[in-house]
Amino acid sequence: MKKHVLYLSMSLTIVFMSACSHDTQSNEANDARYDKLNDVQSIKDVTIKIPENIFDSQKKNENINEDEMKQSIKNYLDYSWELSENIVPLSSTISDENATESDREKLQKLMDLAKKNDTNFHDFISNNNIPDDYQKPSKEIYEYVSSTTALLLEMQQEIDKLSQNGNLLKTDFSFTKRFTKVNGRKQKEIEKFLNEKNIKTTYFNQQ
């Protein structure tokens, strides 16, 4: 099982530590923390790619059968994972003082795609007649993923502010409230549903 909540929280820690490192007296402590988080991924070495596809459906007021519902959930989660896999390392790059305008444009593009991906899936499950046993889980999946997207976006906004004023004390940490929806308990509930329906996704990679 891919520990998605752990991955997300550790990755965000790396990103924020990178942004804060310019405002500390010594980088030795940060270097030690980086060593402990190497198993997440080597953020600076990742090749950033803009995904070619996101979840999209023009259907409205239609009856969605179970096969299509399964595929829709899989597509939405797979696209969401691909986007976050590129957003997190690029966010770390943006926090660096040597970040390029091209990096910033790529990050903005990824963020826009992630929000659109969430919106499209929400419209799909809200505007169509989906199977009864998929209604509540689909909503919970959307809330979990969209909260992750919002968390990444809000954190990046605070990193931008920090890079501009260099004062950690002025950072608004209220974005952490998003973890009430992005937590291990909710992840397990979603994974249980996906396993029951035999929906395999890269987002959780459940066993």
State the pLDDT at residue 49.
86
Residues 86-133 have pLDDT tens digits of: 888 887 776 666 667 888 889 899 999 999 999 999 999 999 999 999
Answer whether 0.85 is exceeded by the pTM: no
3-state DSSP call for residue 105? helix
How far is the C-alpha of 50 from the C-alpha of 87, rounded, in Å? Answer: 10
Find out whether 145 and 77 touch, Cβ atoms under 8 Å.
yes
Q: With a cut of 50, say whether residue 33 has pLDDT above it.
A: no
Q: Domain residue spans in the chain?
A: 4-196
Residues 144-194 have pLDDT tens digits of: 999 888 888 777 766 666 566 655 545 555 555 555 566 778 889 999 999
State the pLDDT at residue 199.
96
Exposure of 206 in the CB half-sphere (CA atoms within 13 A): 18
Residues 35-74 have pLDDT tens digits of: 434 444 444 555 788 988 999 999 999 999 999 999 999 9
Q: With a cut of 80, say whether residue 31 has pLDDT above it.
A: no
State the pLDDT at residue 150.
85
State the pLDDT at residue 206.
45
State the pLDDT at residue 8.
54
Tell me the residue length of the chain.
207
How far is the C-alpha of 111 from the C-alpha of 88, rounded, in Å? Answer: 10
